[in-house]
Chains A and B, each alone.
Chain A
Amino acid sequence: EDKVVQSPLSLVVHEGDTVTLNCSYEVTNFRSLLWYKQEKKAPTFLFMLTSSGIEKKSGRLSSILDKKELFSILNITATQTGDSAVYLCARRITGGGNKLTFGTGTQLKVEL
């Protein structure tokens, strides 16, 4: 079964903390892994990862993929209350059109 598993399911931190969100997947015909941020509306795209070991970075957010161990992490440094959201990861397989399989998400809450 091609599951995408995210951990932790939820997390509460204080502003300024650094957080690491995890995403593992169980499929070998992998094409890419995507991260999205979802506040109280549509998911918005963060990163797409296709190659192992190459970090993608956008401001305080960064992400990396390990295709050997079948996982990805999303790091957020110096967290702010505006980072509070559900973070979703999804994987795309080869030959699957552009279909994505999503994990259940990590609910992040950043408190003052």
Chain B
Amino acid sequence: DVKVTQSSRYLVKRTGEKVFLECVQDMDHENMFWYRQDPGLGLRLIYFSYDVKMKEKGDIPEGYSVSREKKERFSLILESASTNQTSMYLCASSATGTGSYEQYFGPGTRLTVT
């Protein structure tokens, strides 16, 4: 079974703090993704990565950065957390190739910025 793990289930941070959210997958997937999920807005893609050290902006990258130094690990960084970044953050991974592959999700990190 594919396993995607996230470093924290719940996190409370103060405005202005630098926040790191970690995601690790164990299936040697090339692609990794960070989403945020808010009521009424669904899942929105922040950043994704299709290879080590490669990254691409998703639909809402402002206020976020990412790092992928190893294939299995994809980190989301909030440089200076703000209250409007309070949300559920979901990491996902998928294989790549000529087919179409589903994404496997981690359990999520509920971040509260006060």
Contacts and interface: CB of A to CB of B under 8 A. Distances in A.
Interface of A: 31-32, 34, 36, 41-45, 48, 50, 88, 90, 92, 97-105
Contacts, number: 57
A48 B32 CA distance: 19
B114 interface: no
Interface of B: 4, 31, 33, 35, 40-45, 48, 50, 56, 58-59, 90, 94-96, 100-108
B43 A98 contact: no
Contacts of A105: 42
A46 to B, nearest CB: 9
19 contacts: A32-B100, A36-B105, A41-B107, A42-B107, A43-B105, A44-B105, A45-B102, A48-B102, A97-B48, A97-B50, A97-B96, A98-B94, A98-B103, A101-B59, A102-B43, A102-B44, A104-B40, A104-B42, A105-B42
Contacts of A42: 4, 90, 105-108
Given A42-B90, A42-B108, A99-B58, 16 more contacts: A31-B100, A32-B100, A34-B102, A42-B106, A45-B102, A45-B103, A45-B104, A92-B100, A97-B50, A97-B96, A98-B31, A98-B101, A99-B48, A102-B44, A104-B40, A104-B41
